[in-house]
Structure 1
Amino acid sequence: MLYQNYVGRFGKALLLGGVCAGLLAGCNQAPTDDPDTVDGAVGGDTSLAMKNVAITAIVEHPALDDVRKGVIDELAEQGFTEGESLTVNFQSAQGNTATAGQIAKQFVADEADVIVAIGTPSAQSVAAATSTIPLVFSAVTDPVEAKLVPTLDGSGTNVTGGSDALPYEPQIELMRQIIPSLKNVGYVYSPGEVNSTIILKNLKEKLTPLGINVLEAPAQRSNDIAMAARSLEGKVDMIYTSTDNNVVSAYESLYQVAKESKIPLIASDTSSVERGAVAALGVDYYSLGRETGKIVARILNGEKAGDIPVYTPQMLNLYVSPKNAKEQGTTLPQALIDEAKEVLE
């Protein structure tokens, strides 16, 4: 089947030290008036200087937290260790786009060497705030549609990064394996998130020719997620959730509605399974963070952001929960359970 072909192709995500000794040596050198000395780096070699990476996320939830951890771990492996050769300043916008804009302006004023923006709203805020400081986005579904880059092959600007775009065919196959008679799919989303509206548009384009309807349930804030889900009771066979940040950050409330209404939740964020989804086929966000960290390291080592292509994962992971399925009125096929990377009880 198509889904199995994708799982076979993408399989299980691959997870992809040392600190510059000269930096420590530089701390013991006598003061110098050499104008080419920068933070202990002598003779114009700025590679030994302390680097400043600013990281912002639109909100904190497991997927985005994994990205941040992956970035920092990869930078350490590349020789940029926090507290030794690297300063990291992390700020969360707590789901507020106005706050995201304020954080972006502050990072620009601080003259960070690289700004890492996790999530589409944060990336858009940073892009609006600077056209010179390198911006490396991550967990952005469609960076072209979000107007962050003109092409994935190298922007020619100060922007590059890592996308979490997913192919739709295996997602749809997963839905139909769990609900063979699928006719109506509910979609809870934030209308203010570009990535979510893109997914809604594409879902309709893919599902309508198959005779499957998409019923949308917009929720402006995280507090509105449960109410939006309840509006789908009696109308849908399942609810599909994307990497919408407001939805993911309030997933427990969505889970409660799914249990009470017996509407299975199927997700594209694998961390959502331990928080209530029946199954999820998606990107390993820690691995995405590691790949994003590699891009940041390349820029810190002198490459231009605009010369680096956008990274898009080529592997997907399947997580399932027979327990959540039973609570939500369905049963997972054994073949699906056997294919899963993780089976959560």
Structure 2
Amino acid sequence: MTLTLTRRRAIALGAGALAAPYVNRAWGQTPYTIAQILYRGATAVERGFSDYLEQRGVPVKLIPFDANLDPTRVPGIVQEIKALKPDLVYSWGTPNTLATFGRYDDVDPDRNITELPGVFTMVSAPVESGLVPSFESSGRNITGTSHVVPPEPQLRAMQTYKPFERLGVLYTSNEPNSVAIVASVKTIGEDMGFDVVERTFPLLGDGKPDGSAAAKLVTELAEDGAEWLYYLPDTFLSQQMDAVTPTATALGVPGFSAVERMQSDALISLISRYYSVGQLTGYKAEQILVDGIAPASIPIETLKRFALIINMKMAKEMKLYPPLAMLNYANILRDE
């Protein structure tokens, strides 16, 4: 399933336009300094981001800071970046980004970055999480990209592969993007005629989720009649797939992944490629740094080109083969 990506200047991410940088624009220019707040080290998103800027001839000096899976480290990083005063601040993921820039209606200049322009990436639900009031404008000194395909086409892809009346979701209750997406899925379910059964990871005394019950929670969802498991872009869930995937497969409940990271754990995925998300984020950084456009004037976007991935190894194991019509537009057939 593909949708055509169109963008000003015909950037056509991943389709060749990136090979033509602006001639000599950067020669002799002092590099722009970009402080990057990463969540779990460098990913394909960062490769796409840096490759885009390099191919466009935009000289940059990247200074990475890694939260190492712990957003509570971000406030300290924010203070370091404020002292550094880079040209741009880059933030990866919803928890990092909220800790860095704050909710649009609850910004603390002492705690959050406000005076420096920012670009975020890999934020699943920027509006629903309270990061921005709308996709059209953040209304402040940030812009960015979302990496998640809207839930409705994902849910319709599931229905096409294997119709269902009960959808199971396992998520983390203190991840704002997960809570927002589950609410959206429930609303869509009312129109499409399915119910949502849900479980959340228990929280420990320090507020951090506990993954030790992952297999038990999947079993409970199956017992509640879940016919699919919807793997949300939930950061903590993605770290528990070693327990989730074998349990779901043994119980005969197929999984659907909303993000690239969990595609090998799902029977089917409809995703935005991380590398391409990084390229789109690089384009927005270029608009801020080179073109001098205020971040509030740059809309928040997601890609318009998606990859449908069918895990044929899992399909054979579960004896759940895709409809022939779906094979005609699937981008990748995994048979490992």
1:263 maps to which of 234, 245, 253: 253
Distance 1:251-1:100 versus aligned 2 partners, 3 A rule: farther
Residue in 1 that maps onto 2:14: 15
- Residue 233 of structure 2: SS of its match in structure 1? coil
Is the Cα–Cα contact under 8 Å of residues 266 and 278 in structure 1 kept in the other structure? yes
1:272 maps to which of 252, 255, 262: 262
- The alpha carbon displacement at 1:8 in A equals 5.5
Question: CA separation in 2, counterparts of 1:318 and 1:124?
Answer: 30
Residues paired across the two proteins, number:
305
Question: CA separation in 1, counterparts of 2:314 and 2:24?
Answer: 45
Does residue 285 of structure 2 align to residue 285 of structure 1? no
Distance 1:143-1:249 versus aligned 2 partners, 3 A rule: same
Distance 1:49-1:322 versus aligned 2 partners, 3 A rule: same
Residue in 1 that maps onto 2:97: 123
Alignment of 1:141-290 (within 5 A): 141-180=124-163, 182-219=164-201, 221=209, 223-224=211-212, 225-235=214-224, 236-273=226-263, 275-290=264-279
Which letter maps to 1:278?
L
Residue in 1 that maps onto 2:45: 67
Question: CA separation in 1, counterparts of 2:63 and 2:244?
Answer: 32
Question: CA separation in 2, counterparts of 1:337 and 1:197?
Answer: 32
Which letter maps to 2:142?
V
- Residue 171 of structure 1: SS of its match in structure 2? helix
Task: Extract unaligned runs of 5+ from structure 2.
Answer: 6-11, 16-20, 103-111, 204-208
Is the Cα–Cα contact under 8 Å of residues 59 and 92 in structure 1 kept in the other structure? yes
Is the Cα–Cα contact under 8 Å of residues 148 and 159 in structure 1 kept in the other structure? no
Deviates more, 1:223-232 or 1:306-315: 223-232
Task: Extract unaligned runs of 5+ from structure 1.
Answer: 1-6, 24-47
Does residue 33 of structure 2 align to residue 52 of structure 1? yes
Which letter maps to 1:75?
L
Residue in 1 that maps onto 2:118: 135
Is the Cα–Cα contact under 8 Å of residues 160 and 306 in structure 1 kept in the other structure? yes
- The alpha carbon displacement at 1:52 in A equals 1.3
- Residue 179 of structure 2: SS of its match in structure 1? helix
- The alpha carbon displacement at 1:268 in A equals 1.3
Is the Cα–Cα contact under 8 Å of residues 59 and 245 in structure 1 kept in the other structure? no
Residue in 1 that maps onto 2:9: none
Distance 1:8-1:98 versus aligned 2 partners, 3 A rule: closer
- Residue 89 of structure 1: SS of its match in structure 2? strand
Question: CA separation in 2, counterparts of 1:102 and 1:335?
Answer: 52
Deviates more, 1:163-172 or 1:301-310: 163-172
1:89 maps to which of 42, 55, 63: 63
2:326 maps to which of 306, 325, 336: 336
Distance 1:21-1:140 versus aligned 2 partners, 3 A rule: closer
Report Cα offsets for 1:153-187 as digits up to 9, x if no partner: 2334111111224333321221112222x121110
- The alpha carbon displacement at 1:341 in A equals 0.4
Residue in 2 that maps onto 1:29: none
Distance 1:256-1:106 versus aligned 2 partners, 3 A rule: farther
Question: CA separation in 1, counterparts of 2:130 and 2:165?
Answer: 34
Residue in 2 that maps onto 1:39: none
Question: Over the residues paired in the alignment, what is the CA RMSD in angstroms?
Answer: 2.4
Residue in 2 that maps onto 1:318: 308
Question: CA separation in 2, counterparts of 1:185 and 1:259?
Answer: 15
Is the Cα–Cα contact under 8 Å of residues 315 and 321 in structure 2 kept in the other structure? yes
Is the Cα–Cα contact under 8 Å of residues 113 and 133 in structure 1 kept in the other structure? yes
Which letter maps to 2:156?
E
Does residue 289 of structure 2 align to residue 300 of structure 1? yes
Is the Cα–Cα contact under 8 Å of residues 149 and 270 in structure 2 kept in the other structure? no
Report Cα offsets for 1:187-244 as digits up to 9, x if no partner: 0111111111111001111113433111112125373444432332332111011211
Question: CA separation in 1, counterparts of 2:312 and 2:36?
Answer: 37
Which letter maps to 1:171?
Q
- The alpha carbon displacement at 1:280 in A equals 0.4
Is the Cα–Cα contact under 8 Å of residues 13 and 279 in structure 2 kept in the other structure? no
Is the Cα–Cα contact under 8 Å of residues 126 and 135 in structure 1 kept in the other structure? no
- The alpha carbon displacement at 1:323 in A equals 1.1
Report Cα offsets for 1:239-273 as digits up to 9, x if no partner: 01121122223333321222222211111113422
